[in-house]
């Protein structure tokens, strides 16, 4: 069946349908359920990526949650697959590779330290693959990424700014590069400007529309 659809809920939160499974990545600020989750991927423990409240909106007793150690240890009562960077996992017809996610820019180092072991995910089927970078700067590991769709942050402050995200996009071998994690950080005018810059300089850029209105601020 492969990858059937991908929707941007908002911020770094996506819902993906693949291999007849409903998959959430970093569900946060959900105004409603977008269907029960077969799988949930959580990249790291910051509140805008790991929200127990939102996980409860979509999880059932059968839902499997992939998460790094700091998240996994807080998921009491859920079915958890604990992950670490640079590993490979399988779930049914899905193949999952974890990619390190961390800051390298000096003023951001404390936000996402490499030693924490936080991750991004490359999720693949026989027919397609998606890379969700998590919260990260442009890191050397991105040079080895191949995916049909790559979701990368560009909000600055905690992650890459638009120029850094463009540099990252140039290093990732992907059919489409989709920016995320920026509207709440850059505001309406800043987001529009960043999108225009990204679209102009990244030939395989795809600007997605959020399927709900963000109700959070930083």
pLDDT average, residue stretch 120-145: 96
What's the pLDDT at 126? 87
pLDDT band at 3 (very low <50, low <70, confident <90, very high): confident
Q: Report the alpha-carbon distance of residue 181 to residue 92 in Å, rounded.
A: 29
Burial of 190-207, coded b for 16+ CB within 10 Å and e otherwise, reads ebeebbebbeeebeebbe
Q: Which has the minimum average pLDDT: 28-32, 80-84, 115-119, 151-155?
A: 28-32
Residue 1 has pLDDT above 60, yes or no: no
Residue-wise pLDDT for 61-104, tens only, equals 999 999 999 999 999 999 999 999 999 999 999 999 999 999 99
Q: Report the alpha-carbon distance of residue 178 to residue 169 in Å, rounded.
A: 9
Q: Report the alpha-carbon distance of residue 80 to residue 66 in Å, rounded.
A: 6
Q: Which has the minimum average pLDDT: 29-33, 139-143, 194-198?
A: 29-33
Number of other CB atoms surrounding residue 115 within 10 Å: 6
What's the pLDDT at 166? 98
Residue 216 has pLDDT above 80, yes or no: no
What's the pLDDT at 217? 61
Q: Which domains does the chain have, with CATH numbers?
A: 3-201 (3.60.15.10)
In this structure, which long-range contacts are made by residues 83-92, counting pairs with CB atoms below 8 Å and at least 24 apart in sequence?
A: 83/119, 84/117, 84/119, 85/117, 85/118, 85/119, 91/39, 91/64, 91/66, 92/19, 92/21
């Amino acid at each position: 069946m492969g990858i059937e659809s991908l929707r941007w809920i908002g911020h770094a939160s996506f819902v993906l349908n693949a291999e007849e499974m409903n998959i959430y990545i970093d569900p946060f600020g959900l105004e409603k359920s977008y269907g029960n989750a077969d799988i949930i991927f959580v990249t790291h423990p910051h509140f805008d990526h790991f929200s127990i409240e939102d996980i409860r909106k979509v999880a059932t007793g059968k839902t499997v949650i992939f998460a790094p150690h700091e998240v996994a240890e807080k998921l009491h009562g859920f079915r958890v697959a604990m992950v670490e960077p640079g590993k490979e996992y399988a779930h049914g017809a899905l193949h999952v590779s974890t990619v390190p996610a961390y800051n390298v820019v000096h003023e951001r180092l404390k936000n996402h330290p490499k030693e924490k072991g936080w991750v991004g995910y490359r999720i693949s089927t026989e027919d397609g693959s998606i890379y969700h970078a998590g919260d990260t700067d442009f890191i050397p590991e991105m040079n080895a990424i191949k995916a049909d769709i790559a979701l990368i942050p560009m909000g600055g402050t905690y992650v890459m700014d638009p120029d850094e995200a463009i540099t990252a996009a140039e290093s990732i071998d992907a059919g489409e590069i989709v920016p995320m994690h920026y509207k709440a950080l850059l505001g309406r005018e800043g987001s529009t400007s960043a999108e225009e810059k990204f679209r102009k300089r990244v030939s395989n850029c795809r600007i997605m529309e959020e399927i709900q209105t963000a109700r959070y601020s930083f």
